[in-house]
Every structure is written in structure tokens, then in C-alpha cells.
Amino acid sequence: MKNPFKIGVATLALLPFLSIHSNAQTTKKTESYRSSIGADGGIPVGPLKDNFDWNPGVSKQGDFPMIKDQLFATGNGVIIIFFVKNTIAGLNDLHVIPLKGGLKYFLIEYIYIQGETVVSFIANKNNLGLSKSVVFCLFATSSGFA
């Protein structure tokens, strides 16, 4: 029997690839707000690798300009599900919601570096027998092409 939650996450992860946007002109315009949706995924490491398999997720990010086309304040919300390994009875999937905020700086027109502070919450803490939902705080860096 298929888990409707897993099917929903897989559908949301594939959604960005199903829509295509094209423009006939390539005029440069200044944006007041940038929004993006992304598919996330990974393989657990450390203590999580013993109990969980892979972890798909979906993210939504907003970029707010601070300096025209160069420096942006970012806000990002993600939902990630760590699927429990089939060999472990009685353990539930782990649902984590990281919330991130930081800065994105464009070195040149399309190349950027980004730094964000992250706070993660466990969404299904009661199913896991946990009393607190805040998991950890950390600093994440990235670079990319936009």
C-alpha cells in the first residue's frame, strides 16, 4: 500500500520540472523580489545513516533586494523527509522543516555566493517520542548560477 504523504512529496519534487517559461526578448529588468521553488534531496550521514535511507524535499525561497541587482536578503523554507530503512520496525519517518535567512551577493551578473543561518524543527516530534521540536542551528554557505 502506497503512503499518500510520500506520493505527495514526490509530486511536489517533480512539479518544478513540469513547468516551462520562455521569453522572446532578452531585455534586462530590475526585479524588486525574486522567488524560486526547488527540489532538494540527499543521503543521511553520521548517526542518521544507520536508521534512515534517502531524504527528498521541496524548498521555497524569496530574495529581497538590498543593493540593486547585487545584494539580496534571503528567506527560505524547506520540508525534508528522512525515510526510515525497511529493516527497522516501529520507527517512523523523520519530517524536518529547516527555516533559513541570510544574504546572497552577486559577484558578477549571474554568479553568486550565499550565506544563511538555519534553524530546523521536527514536524512529527510526537510520532518519534521527542519532547522538543528544535533540532539544531547552523550556518550554511553556497554558491551558484542564477
- Would you give the DSSP letter of residue 109? S
Is 0.85 surpassed by the pTM of this model?
Answer: no
Q: Look at residues 23, 24, 21, 54 and name the one whose alpha carbon lies nearest to residue 36.
A: 21
Give the cell for residue 95: 519530517
The percentage of residues in the chain with a pLDDT greater than 90, rounded to a whole number, is 25
Q: Is the pLDDT of residue 69 over 70?
A: yes
Give the cell for residue 47: 548517526
The residue written with cell numbers 524548498 in the block is 59
Q: Is the pLDDT of residue 108 over 60?
A: yes
Q: Is the pLDDT of residue 17 over 90?
A: no
Tally of CB atoms within 10 A around 26: 5
Top mean pLDDT of 38-52, 67-81, 116-130 is at 67-81
Query: In this predicted structure, what is the pLDDT of residue 140?
Result: 84
Q: Is the pLDDT of residue 1 over 50?
A: no
Strands (DSSP E) contained in the chain are 34-42, 55-67, 71-82, 94-106, 111-122, 134-145
Instruction: Look over the chain and give the mean of its residue pLDDT values, rounded to a whole number.
Output: 80
Query: In this predicted structure, what is the pLDDT of residue 29?
Result: 58
